Each structure stands twice: as C-alpha cells, then as structure tokens.
Amino acid sequence: MVVGAVLLLLGVMLAFLTYDAARLTAAATAVDQHAEAAQEALAAADAEALTREVAQVKEAAEEFEAATSGPHWWIASHLPWLRLQAAPLVAAGEAVGAVADRALAPLAGQDSLAAFEVPRFEGGRVDPYVLEEYRGPLAVASETLAAEAETLAGVDTSRSWLPVNDLVRGLEGQIETLGGLVAGAHATAELLPGMLGGEGERHYLVVVQNNAEPRTTGGLPGAFFELTVEDGRMELGRYAAARDLIDDAGRVAITEDEERIFSDRMSTYPHDANFTPEFPRTAEILVDFWELRYGERPDAVVSIDPVALGWMLEGSAPLEAGGIEITGENLAMVMLNQAYFLYEDPLEQDEFFARTAAALFAQVVGGQVASVSGVEQAIEAHRFLLWSADAEEQALLASTGVGGAFLESPDTLGVFLNDGSGSKIGYYIGSDVLVTDYQCNDGSIDSMTVEVELRHGYEGDVADLPDYITGIPRFVPRGEFHANVLVYPPAGFALTGTTRDGEAMEVVEDVHEGRAMSQKRIELKPGGQVNLVYELQATEAELGLPGLQMTPGPRPNQPQLLLEQSPSC
C-alpha cells in the first residue's frame, strides 16, 4: 500500500509537471518574443510600443512563474534528476517576474522615452536636467536587470536537459541585452547635469581623429580644440594641430606595457597617443600633452572622426572651406583625402584639417545638426568617445560603449590597426573582418576563427598623389601601406594558429594590462591585398558569445559574424 501510494503520488506529480511543461514552453516563447520587442521599443524610444509589449511580457511572466511554482515543483526540486531540471526553471521564473515588475513596468509608465534618445538642442542649448525625471526609474531598472542577469549566470545548467539549458541561457542573454540598453540610458541621465555644465562650467578637449592614418580607435589625433560648456550652452575656444603639441623631451608618462608594446613615441607625439585601444588611457595622455603646451588641464575629452561628423551633419547647410563646398555626404572624403590635393605645404594641410574640423563641430554644438540619428550612429560605431577626469563620472562612462574602455571588457575580441607608413595612404585601404564562432550543444563557444583581409585600393600612378599621402620614401616606399595588425583574444581563449594567405606565419605575442594580444607587421603595395587568419581555442568551459571591437576605417566598415556548430563538442 505504501509503495502504491508513493507511485500514485509520483504519477500525479509527473502529470502536473508534464502539464506545466507545456505551459512553460508557451510562456517562455512569449517572454522571449515580447522581451525582444520591448528591447526594440526602448532602442527606438517608442513609449506606446513599450507599454504594449511590457503588458505582454508581464502576462507571459506571470504564466511562466505560475508554471514553475506549486508543491509538485518543491518536491521535484528535492529529487535527484528532477532537481537538475526544476531548480534552473524556478530561478528563471523568478528572474522573469522581477524584470517585468521592477525593471520594465516603471519604464513603461513614463510618458515618453527621451532617456533613450540623444538629447536635442533647443534655442542653442541642451537642458542639463532634461532627463531628471528618469533618473530614479532607470536606476532601479538598471540595478534589477544587472542583479537578475547575474543570478541566472550563476545557475548551473551543465547537467540539465538541453531544452532547459537553452531556455535559461536564452533568458539570460535577453536580460543582459536589456540591461546594457538600460544601463546606457541610466548613465546618460546621471552624467548630463554635470557634463553639460549644470553644476558649473566644464572645459573639454575635443579631438578629431584622421582615419586616413589608422590608429586603434580610428585614426591619428589630427585636430584639437577647446569646448566650454555652461548650463547647456557650448562655446569653442582655441584650436591646434597635432604637431603643435609635440613634446620633444618626451615628458608624458606612459606605462611599461605601453612603452614595450607601442614604443616611447606615445610620450613624445600626440599623433601616437591612441596606439593603445584603451581610449581612457589615450584621453589621459592627450590631456597631458595639452597641459604641457598650454598650462591648462581639461575636465574631459571628446573624440570624433570625419565619418561621424558627416553622419551628424547630414542634411544641414553646406560649409565653404578652401574653395570646396562641404556637406555631410562628402565631408569624410574632403577632410581625409581631397584636402591633401589642395595644399602642398603640410603646415597648410594640418591647418585646413584643424580649422575645418572646428568649424564643422561648431555646427554640431550650435544645434544645427539635422540628423540626431547620425549622433546615435556615431556612438554605436565607436566613432564618438568620451572620457571624464572625474572618477565617478568616468566609472559610469566606462560601463558604456561611448567610454571606449576596451581592456575592461574581457569578453570582447579586439581587431585593430596601427599605421606604420607615416602617411595618409590609409584612405585607400579597405578592411574586412570575418569572425566565425563555433558553438557546442550547451550553447558555449568552443573555438573561433578570425579572418582579417586588407586591400590596397589605389591602382593608379603613385606619382600622381601628393607627397603627404604617399609618405616619405626613406621610411616606406612611396604609396605602400605598412601597418601593425593587433588581435586581442577574449578572456578564456588562446591563440593556437595563424596564417597569411594560407601559409603559416609568426606573430609577436605579448600581454597588455593583463590582456593577451599579438601584433603582425604587414606591407601592401598599391593594388595588393593580404588575408590573415587567427585560430582561437577556448581554454575554459561555458564561455559565451564574445563581442567585437575593431578600428573604425575611413569608410563605414561592418564585420561579418557567423555562428556554426562545433565539430569537437
């Protein structure tokens, strides 16, 4: 009778669990679909769509929680094999409920989602407190999403049934993505009052990178100018070219790693301050150069490039410079290439770049930007970067894409270029990056293949090019492109093989502030190309899909990302 009662109890419990499994599958699908739609609504700052989708997420979340609760689930969580399935699902149900109630619902209750848009100029001013009403809800939402993502990351699904693992890991990914979006808006709301001069005058150093001479974060820092911000109003001050800030004594302090890997040029030439892919370090170095030259230390650094400026000024009134009409569409071509055909004297070329960059940026800060989406596009493409000397502000910035803190993102793959030509021939270089991630059945990444293809697109007579574009012959043959290709594997991956055009090659491996990395010198004649392949193998278990950061080129460049089944797991 006892055995019969136990078997009957188990049968009833399994029947309930089977019924709940069907409810759970439907609820999980609904949560996934509506959470993704809610994410899209946040990104588009569509308050109406967010309200609609959050209501659906809450309904699905309640169904999900209901399908993972009850006495039969408590019993299941204490039985050997069932415990491995039940515990992760219960944790997932609780996380979904918390996200719906404490993160998304308060945001959906806002009249608008201005916190997820680039703040707009009104009457030549950006209100430093335009996002004040969002600070509280965003802080709670950001904290909730981070906590629930961390909770799910700690849930062990290594011995769970594959569908259970996929469900939990899928929810974790959704919550992490939502968390990143909300964290960025939260950081913006917290930073605006101080950085827009609402709490006192702020002094910025604006740096315009020249992508025709590649550096890891885009291009050579070619133009510098001051920007003063007070109560949301902006005013440009003096400007200078990179050559004006050279310190022949090499007094700018750099780290041992930076000197060993990138040479001591970083302490003498502001042109080379972004040999490192870590933008906060670049900003600190550039502030030191500016202080040595002018005796003033800016509060923050803004970095931008001509491609991003073009996006921002798309549709705005043309600017006349050097006899050329500059618009958002031709801005990058003029500043990165055409200007060198207008002036023979390098001093005049540098002056044109610095003067024109300042005039164009003045249109941006004067509220004449026609395309707010261009600002968002620049941020997303890592062509607009920001650093603050204030430690608290910088901690917030470092958690966002606009902060450019690469070394602090161990789960990000880095593929960068540092020019070695000393010229502007890089304008003609095309670059493609293809990353193939090999995934195991449990969703973890087992290995990666990184392909880097570089093409020299100039096929005419090198003699027809200005000297500033082709370079100095005693360093590099005229018209050739020389560069160092830097690859930083994500944490938990090791470099196991490298090839150049199908043949084995050697690279120089090193460690940069705890991050493994490698460098390879390449040379391209006009019309030539090279294909480099890096094989990376996981050295740890349960590694997730890594991010990717790469050097923004003189034209928009979009990497290809492939996900394939691993043959070895």
DSSP secondary structure letters along 477-525: -TT-EEEEEEEEPPTTEEEEEEEETTEE---EEEEETTEEEEEEEEEE-
State which residues of the chain have pLDDT below 50. Answer: 6-7, 13
**Are the C-beta atoms of 349 and 468 separated by less than 8 Å?**
yes
Question: How far from chain centre, in Å, is Cα 15?
Answer: 48
How far apart are alpha carbons 343 and 345 in whole angstroms? 6
* Domains contained in the chain, CATH given: 2-195 (no CATH), 202-386 (3.40.630), 410-565 (2.60.40)
> 223's torsion region: left (phi>0), alpha (psi -120 to 50) or beta?
beta
pLDDT of residue 109: 81
Q: For residue 118, give the amino acid letter.
A: V
What is the reported pLDDT for 437?
97
- The closest of 206, 223, 477 to 339, measured between CA atoms, is 223
Contact by Cβ (8 Å): 168, 155? yes
pLDDT recorded at residue 177: 86
Which pLDDT tens digit goes with each residue over 312-354? Answer: 888 788 888 878 889 889 999 999 999 999 888 888 888 888 8
pLDDT at residue number 517: 98
Q: How would you classify residue 434: left for phi > 0, otherwise alpha for psi between -120 and 50, otherwise beta? A: beta
Give residue 22's identity as a one-letter amino acid code: A
Q: Which residues pair with 175 in a beta bridge?
A: none
Task: Report the C-alpha gap between 182 and 102 in whole angstroms.
Answer: 13
- Token pair for residue 283? 């900003």
Q: Which 3 state secondary structure label does DSSP give 65?
A: helix
Under 8 Å between Cβ of 352 and 337: no
3-class SS string, 43-60: HCCCHHHHHHHHHHHHHH
Task: Report the Cα 357 to chain-centroid distance in Å.
Answer: 24
Cβ–Cβ < 8 Å for 125, 233: yes
Which tokens in the block code for residue 259?
A: 């000197």
pLDDT the model gives residue 94: 85
Q: Do residues 345 and 353 touch, judged by C-beta distance below 8 A?
A: no
∠ CA 218-524-500, rounded to 5°: 95
Cβ–Cβ < 8 Å for 486, 516: no
3-state helix, strand, coil in the chain (%, to 5): 45, 25, 30
User: Cα dihedral angle (336, 282, 204, 395), rounded to 10 degrees?
Assistant: 130
Q: Is there a contact between 88 and 164 (Cβ–Cβ < 8 Å)?
A: yes
Q: CA 210 to CA 377: how far, in whole Å?
A: 18
Provide the pLDDT for residue 7: 46
pLDDT of residue 260: 98
Helix axis angle, 47-66 to 2-43, nearest 10° = 170
Query: What pLDDT, on a 0 to 100 scale, did the predictor assign at position 86?
Result: 74
Residue 274 has what pLDDT?
98
* CA neighbor of 272 nearest in space, from 309, 221, 233, 306: 221
What are the CB-based long-range contacts (under 8 Å, 24+) for 388-395? 388/191, 388/195, 388/299, 388/300, 389/287, 389/297, 389/298, 389/299, 389/300, 390/194, 390/299, 390/300, 393/191, 393/194, 393/195, 393/300, 394/280
